[in-house]
Structure 1
Amino acid sequence: METSEKIAHKAHALFIRYGIRSTSMDDIATDLGISKKTIYQFYPNKDSLVEALVDKATDEHIFSCKILTANSDNAIIELYFLMLYIKELYNVLNPVVIYDLEKNHELAYKKFKDHKALFIHQTLKANIERGIKTGLYRVDFDIDVITRFFLESLGLMSDPGIFPPTNHSKIQPTEEIFACLISGIVTTMGLEVVRAYKNQRSIMLLSNYEEGPFWDD
């Protein structure tokens, strides 16, 4: 791994663990066992490291989503994995990180907002349009309204303030949110596809739960 990559990797790990504001350039240098002068040879300031974090997270998200949309069998399976990839993105750009971006790193925050408003929004909208075209989703709703609803709903999944980690829940927020979203838009044919995936355990291993989610018959 090149020195610049090592610096970025360490900085990003500290940002995610402790928050951007709480992580200084001294902390990064100390953890790496190098001088700040070495860091500044590759990254002129903390802002550049923060922007690199956002760029890496969003680039990886775009790459995963493009492979998914090019290879998924249908809109339903695609939507489920889009949710998983969005959750992975928010595990990196978590609420603490986003708060720090908004308060102290304007350009990095704009990059995150643009990714959400443009790429994620368009990917979800394309999924809905695909589902309608193939008869899996209903046609009697406003696509733009539902896309925006999906967009904001998915941002809740990785927020520990809303869904604190617990060992008591047998059904994870991802499955609950997916169940809610998909049950509101599928046609009868789409519902059969959902049931088939459930029976094959291709999406959710519901047999591991003592009780299925509310969308079970």
Structure 2
Amino acid sequence: MDTSKKIANKAYALFSRYGIRTISMDDIASELRMSKKTIYQFYSNKDSLVESFIDTAIDENIFRCKILIAKSDDAIIELYFLLVYILELYNGLNPAIVYDLEKNHELAYGKFKDHKVLFIHKTVKANIERGVKTGLYRNDFDIDVITRFFLESLTIISNPTVFPLFNNTIKATNELLACLISGIVTTMGTDVVNAYKNQRDIMFLSNYEEVPFWDH
């Protein structure tokens, strides 16, 4: 692994675990057992490492969502996993990190905001439009409003002051996402949701990280 990537990976791990504000360039250098001078050869300041941190989180989110969409032929299960991936992004960028980005790292915060507006919102909205066309979702609601509602609901779910971490289990997450999805499905969509619920190795009762649904 080249030095630049090694530095970025260590910064990512430290920012994710301890937050951005508490981690200094000295901390990163110490963890890597290298001098700050070496780090500055690749990253001019902490801001540039924070931008790298956000870029990595966003790129991973886009990659996973695009693979999901390419392999999915069912709007409901696609929406479920889109929400899972977005929720994991929000969990990784917890409220304290987002607050610090907004206050102290303008460019990185701008990238995060743009990702939410230009990719996440657009992707979830496209799924809902697809589900409406295929008869799995109702057609009696404002799609843009519901898309925003879903994304803000994920913000609440990922907030540890609302849902403490010890309650944020796979089962609890599945139940919350199932409630969101069930609110927009048609009778045909309800049958699909119930079918997934009854299949132990797929969707709601599975550990979605161990085996992707399309491999079943």
TM-score of the alignment, normalized to the shorter chain, above 0.5: yes
Q: Partners of 1:169 and 1:21 in 2: how far apart?
A: 27
Q: Which runs of 5+ in 2 are unaligned?
A: 207-216
- Structure 1 residues 169 and 22, CA gap change in structure 2 (3 angstroms): closer
Quick check: 2:182–2:193 contact (8 Å CA) kept in 1?
no
Alignment of 1:114-133 (within 5 A): 114-133=114-133
Q: Partners of 1:114 and 1:170 in 2: how far apart?
A: 28
1:67 aligns with 2:67: yes
**Alignment-mate amino acid for residue 6 of structure 1:** K
Q: Partners of 2:11 and 2:68 in 1: how far apart?
A: 29
How big is the alpha-carbon RMSD for the aligned residues of Structure 1 and Structure 2?
Answer: 1.7
* Aligned-pair CA distance for 1:17: 1.5
Q: Which runs of 5+ in 1 are unaligned?
A: 207-217
**Alignment-mate amino acid for residue 136 of structure 2:** L
What is residue 210 of structure 1 aligned with on the other side? none
Sequence identity percentage: 72
1:199 aligns with 2:198: yes
**Alignment-mate amino acid for residue 161 of structure 1:** T
* Aligned-pair CA distance for 1:158: 2.2
1:183 aligns with 2:182: yes
Q: Partners of 1:81 and 1:189 in 2: how far apart?
A: 20
**Mean CA deviation greater in 157-166 or 79-88:** 157-166
1:12 aligns with 2:15: no
TM-score, length basis structure 2: 0.90
Q: Partners of 1:40 and 1:11 in 2: how far apart?
A: 13
What is residue 46 of structure 1 aligned with on the other side? 46
Q: Partners of 1:140 and 1:157 in 2: how far apart?
A: 26
Total equivalences in the alignment = 205
Once the two structures are superposed, residues 138-195 of structure 1 have per-residue CA deviations (whole angstroms, 9 ceiling, x without a partner) of: 00111111111111111223221111122698941x2232122112110000001111
What is residue 209 of structure 2 aligned with on the other side? none
* Aligned-pair CA distance for 1:200: 1.3
Q: Partners of 1:142 and 1:67 in 2: how far apart?
A: 27
Q: What SS does the aligned partner of 1:23 have?
A: coil
